[in-house]
Structure 1
Amino acid sequence: MAPPEWLEPELRPIQKDGWRAYMFRLMFRHHEPDERRFDVALLIAIAISVLVALLDSVALLHAHYGSYFYAVEWVFTILFSIEYLIRLSIVRRPLRYALSFYGVIDLLAALPTYISLFVVGADHLLVIRVLRILRVFRILEMVEFSKEGSELMRALHASRRKIGLFVLFVVLITVVFGAVMYLVEGPEHGFSSIPHAMYWAIVTMATVGFGDITPQTPLGQFITSIMILIGYGIIAVPTGIFGAHLIQSGMEKRAVRQMDVEDSCLRCGEREHHAEARYCHCCGERMPIDDKES
């Protein structure tokens, strides 16, 4: 099964032979030795460019080797820019590739260096290039990991309303307890405003407790204890909601795998269908199991 469309769009070469066809095979295929060598070289270049960006953020290294780091960053930026333009020129639908997941990541890999010419410090966004490492899922044919990621996304999408309602409830608690602590403790104990007290409520419920604001009165400390207990419940509730949808997704997946071989699609031969499916999800053919029941 191919990766989901948001990971890899359906691309076609702009021509069947010539240099465009060769570059398309080299950049978008991952089976032949030369294709693998190109992919490995690309991953190494990405890793080195990200490492340079990380080292350049260290003040001591930047003071001694800043000019070298700057030159190396521009070399990789030019290489990635050329690669991006070649990818656009060899696909039949360049706009579709540019708007795809990998297309956007490829653009962001080169963009920060150009932005740094106008915005100081934008070059540190070069660490975005590390997202291009996601190509390893295709290069190593780790499609199964893409399937698992899709299942997580589906479970998160299915539980979005419950989690959204829960987040709204947390926001209301934050506002209420922030206002209460502002009245109880007051500016003399560090709670200078209701938004500042809301910040305290958030870090307290998250059980982080930075310690920059602490209640001093007994009533404030009692309210803090309640907030900490609420925080533990807040951590558990969304996890349970998300886990329940994952379990439900797994049960549906097992139901799909338990279909008999003779019930496969007569047109395309697809075997994996939902137990209650009436039509093939690949080609739309009427399922033979439906014919038996009728």
Structure 2
Amino acid sequence: MNAAPPADLAAAATFGRPLAGWRLKAYAIIFEADTRAGRAFDLALVGLILASVAVVMLDSVASLHAQWGGVFTVLEWGFTALFTLEYLLRLACVQQPWRYARSFFGVVDLLAIAPTYLALLFPALHALIDVRVLRLLRIFRILKLAAYVSEYRALGQALWATRRKIAVFLGFVLLVTLVMGTLMYVVEGPANGFTSVPVSVYWAITTMTTVGFGDITPKTDLGRLIASTMMLLGWGTLAVPTGIVSAEIAARRGPAEVTTRTCPACLSEGHLSSARFCRDCGQPLPRHQRDA
């Protein structure tokens, strides 16, 4: 008679697929990277992602496509088959596959494989759009890399925590560009290329962001003074949000141990190795699998 499953797994089983047998092993390998198998899987997947994106980029070069188009097609189908298998395994080993399918990385996983099948199943699409547009969607594979770098999560958390400060700052920048653009429209006028307030605001945005295309330039002394002020203010548009986010990242940096533990119920990541319950949904966590 089989032994009863651990209490945490039994409780979590009520929320979706039971994590037992090969599903539990697959889950530890695919969603966590604290074991040799998990690290090997992640490194192999990163290599496949980079290789597939390189194939898409090379295939977009006309001369290379004419000479190696057949090879690129075979490689693309090989990558698609591997990513499809990975996607199905992810759905099979999580407790709530529909929740994962609707998550950010679940959508990215689907976008990474869908264009190949769409171009095959609907060849008539070429009458409406160029099928190459579908092929460009495969670049979403590069977004899958974010799942394997903890710094992405730290940066995302810092941006989310400082969203109000950044929103206030962007509102101030928008106000300045609107006022200065309107002022330049009054000072320079249509004779010097400032034909309307929206065009003048466009000039103010390109000047404040230090892009300065040069398609519109002030001709009067007062206009050049305003432009100089805008250029100096442009330095602040780069320094202020960078300082806000950097300060938040520094404040969040601590001695907490970083792991890749993932909650099987809500798919929240980064739990401590000693954690017994998910910090977001409160569900029991499986035993942490880790080796050197």
TM-score, normalised to structure 2's length?
0.67
Q: Give the deviation of 1:25 after TM superposition.
A: 5.0
Q: Report which stretch shifted further, 25-34 or 222-231.
A: 25-34
Partner of 1:8: none
Bigger Cα displacement from structure 2, 184-193 vs 215-224: 184-193
The aligned amino acid for 2:135 is D
Higher RCO by CA contacts (8 Å cutoff, separation 6 or greater): 2
1:131 equivalent among 104, 129, 143:
143
Mapped contact 1:13–1:24 kept (Cα < 8 A): no
Instruction: For structure 1, list consecutive stretches of 5 or more residues without a partner in the other structure.
Output: 1-10, 138-145, 258-269, 272-280, 285-294
- CA–CA separation in structure 1 for the residues paired with 2:43 and 2:158: 33
- Report the number of matched residues: 240
In the other structure, the counterpart of 1:142 is none
Q: Distance in 1 between matches of 2:84 and 2:139?
A: 16
| Matched residue type, 1:127 | I
Report the 3-state secondary structure (helix = DSSP H, G, I; strand = E; otherwise coil) of the residue aligned with 1:230. Answer: helix
The residue correspondences of 1:83-98 to structure 2 (distance < 5 A) are 83-98=86-101
| Aligned-partner Cα distance in 2 for 1:244–1:115 | 45
Distance across 2 between alignment mates of 1:243 and 1:187: 42
Q: Deviations over 1:124-168 (max 9, x none)?
A: 12121122233544xxxxxxxx2x555544443333222211111
Is 1:239 the counterpart of 2:242 in the alignment? yes
Structure 1 residue 162 corresponds to structure 2 residue 162:
no
Distance in 1, matches of 2:57 and 2:147, equals: 21
SS of match in other structure, 1:92: coil
Does 2:16 correspond to 1:16?
no
How much identity, in percent, do the aligned residues show?
46
Q: 1:187 to 1:83 in 2, by over 3 A?
A: same
Q: Take 2:169 and 2:190, find their aligned partners in 1: how far apart are those partners? A: 30
After the TM superposition, which parts of structure 1 deviate over 6 Å for at least 4 consecutive aligned residues?
none
* CA–CA distance in structure 1, aligned partners of residues 39 and 241 of structure 2: 41
1:49 is aligned, of 31, 48, 52, to 52
Report if the CA contact (8 A) 2:146-2:152 is conserved: no
Distance 1:36 1:177, change over 3 A: closer
> Corresponding residue for 2:225?
222
How far has the Cα of 1:171 moved from its partner?
0.8
Amino acid at match of 1:55: L
Extract unaligned runs of 5+ from structure 2: 1-14, 258-272, 283-292
RMSD value, Cα:
3.6
Matched, 1:76 2:88: no
- Match of 1:292? none
SS in 1 for 2:228: helix
Kindly provide the CA deviation profile for residues 37-57 of structure 1, in whole angstroms up to 9, marking residues without a partner as x. 444433332222111011122
Query: What SS does structure 1 have at the residue aligned with 2:217?
Result: coil
